[in-house]
Amino acid sequence: MNEYRIINQKTWKRATHCAVFRNYAEPMFCVTFELDVTNFLQAVKKKGLSFTMSVIYAATVCANNIEEFRYRFVGGDVVLFDKIDTAFTYLDEETRLFKVVNVPICDSLEEYVSLAKKTAKEQKEYFTRPLVNNVFQFSAMPWVPYTHISHTISGKKDSATPLFNFGKYTQKDGRVVMPFSAQVHHSFVDGAHIGELYESLQEFMNNIE
């Protein structure tokens, strides 16, 4: 379990915003944006790496660098994790059913992709445990170049795990673009933070070499 510290809500600058959105019937919101993955796709193919696993790594690194994406509710408290790991869906080619795979974030892209592929292939169960707090949940939809996406909702208001999706990449004006979605809890994350994620992730993909 990753370490976290409990936030003193009497002095926390976001306490009022958190309290307001925490009581909403639907406190999660989702934003979809377009990423230019031209350089990123070329680089990971050159390295012989999985594009899907590489996107998961890139997004996790970028989101971890933004404090607001590491806040969660634990036992009624607001906490800030020191780091967030990954959980992603992986399609079983035989049954055409997905399984949820949990993989810790690694120090390098190559190390993460290797561990993620190994873990996904060796896992037999579809679900090994309930979704935990210290992950970013990913789901790729490489069959659809979507413009909007929605998610199933547990109904638990204190479930604040961000959900990241990405779709099929396509050619556009000589570049390769891909939809990417972030669903987040408004108690912790605002549109400005989604903007930070977009800028950081696009820069990561532009300069992967």
In a domain, 18, yes or no: no
CB atoms closer than 10 angstroms to residue 209:
9
Asked if 180 and 32 count as a contact pair (C-beta separation under 8 A), the reply is yes
Place of tokens 């929605």: 150
Reduce the DSSP state of residue 8 to 3 states and report it. coil
**Which pLDDT belongs to residue 132?**
83
122's CB contacts (< 8 A; 6+ apart) are: none
pLDDT tens figures, 89-111: 999 888 999 999 999 999 999 99
C-alpha count within 13 angstroms, C-beta hemisphere, residue 113: 15
Q: Residue 115 is part of which domain span?
A: 4-9+28-206
Q: The tokens of 96 are what?
A: 């055409």
User: pLDDT per residue over 122-176, tens digit each?
Assistant: 999 999 888 888 999 999 999 999 999 988 877 777 889 999 999 999 999 999 9
* pLDDT at res. 1: 64
Radius of gyration of the chain (CA): 17
Nearest to 47 by CA among 120, 102, 112: 112
Cβ contacts of residue 32 below 8 Å, gap of 6+?
Answer: 146, 147, 148, 149, 179, 180, 181
DSSP 194: H
CATH number, domain of 82, equals: 3.30.559.10
pLDDT digit string, tens, across residues 48-79:
999 999 999 999 999 999 999 999 999 999 99
Across residues 19-26, what is the average pLDDT?
90
Could you tell me where the DSSP H helices lie in the chain?
15-22, 38-47, 51-64, 109-122, 191-206
Q: CA 20 to CA 14: how far, in whole Å?
A: 10
In a domain? residue 56: yes
pLDDT given at position 40: 98
- Quick check: 23 pLDDT over 90? no
Question: What is the number of structural domains in the chain?
Answer: 1
